[in-house]
Structure 1
């Protein structure tokens, strides 16, 4: 991950950021609330496989329940604080998604997902990802999971509650935000 501080002379507006993303489709870019441009390196193959497993479970649950919309890591969201973030996986309750105009849905949707998941890769700094999960929580996420496969830990973030830490759980429940979702983590630790 590379953070570029563009300084006070370059304003990274929503339009400029969108143009940068369109002109560089192979890059994963985010904008912090401070206006820094974050360029993230591609995930390693093992991380990509783990992320596909987790996203697949979220997608399958959502297909069965039809309660919302699931997103992969290529989706960006404009948080209420102005940051534009792309979690590794996300989910938005259907009525919240449907309140957005088609134009808002096509761009970086102006809301924070209800559920966010970040999967730490070897190149990520844990403290940076923890701050990102706190940012999601502070901007309206109802549930956030930060998964550190190397340490065998899952950090759970919920509004108004201290962060919870689980050591190598086999499964985790998404209740009540994701009713009846039980995500299997055994492949993550294997």
Structure 2
């Protein structure tokens, strides 16, 4: 007879050591991920730098680097770590002085798809972010040179190199040609 194991909580995860291994917590289960490749890291840094510069100049909130955990659900807990995340000033201020993972979703979650990511993995992340209350999710696909923008599951837009990626009402005034993200 199989033995039931207790679900891992966000607090348990924060106390665990995984060395260099990247992990997320999905419905109480630790999911390990391979380290990001060079192209993935460069793309995430490019987007992070663009968003950071824009947000800082306008004092809109806080931009978080990859590996920052966001608690998206409780009982069982889900902690996701987007490649880049933005949280508006008012919500970010509520986290100041707290230790541990960010309680709640980012306003904007950016995920860069790696070659090993499955469509199901990417879809699961989008669902987790949106169901937790993220206002926008960007899925960047270097292989197809596209950015899929989710405002909700019904408001989805696929952008190509000839298009402009904008921040909508989450980052008003932010705009960058999609082509520049892919070296064009």
Gaps of 5+ in 1: 1-6
Alpha-carbon separation, structure 2, partners of 1:44 and 1:59: 22
Is 2:113 aligned against 1:120?
A: yes
Aligned to 2:29, which of 7, 26, 36? 36
Q: Is the 2:137–2:150 contact (alpha carbons within 8 Å) kept by the matching residues of 1? A: yes
Q: 1:73 to 1:182 in 2, by over 3 A?
A: same
Q: Is the 2:164–2:176 contact (alpha carbons within 8 Å) kept by the matching residues of 1? A: yes
Alpha-carbon separation, structure 2, partners of 1:169 and 1:134: 27
Alpha-carbon separation, structure 2, partners of 1:71 and 1:101: 13
Alpha-carbon separation, structure 1, partners of 2:89 and 2:138: 20
Q: 1:188 to 1:127 in 2, by over 3 A?
A: farther
The equivalences for 1:159-178 within 5 A come to: 159=152, 161-178=154-171
Alpha-carbon separation, structure 2, partners of 1:11 and 1:140: 23
Q: Is the 2:147–2:159 contact (alpha carbons within 8 Å) kept by the matching residues of 1? A: yes
Alpha-carbon separation, structure 1, partners of 2:89 and 2:181: 28
Q: Secondary structure at the match of 2:172?
A: coil
The equivalences for 1:92-103 within 5 A come to: 92-100=87-95, 102-103=97-98
The equivalences for 1:1-190 within 5 A come to: 8-20=4-16, 23-33=17-27, 35-81=28-74, 82-100=77-95, 102-103=97-98, 106-159=99-152, 161-190=154-183
Aligned-CA RMSD value: 1.8
Gaps of 5+ in 2: none
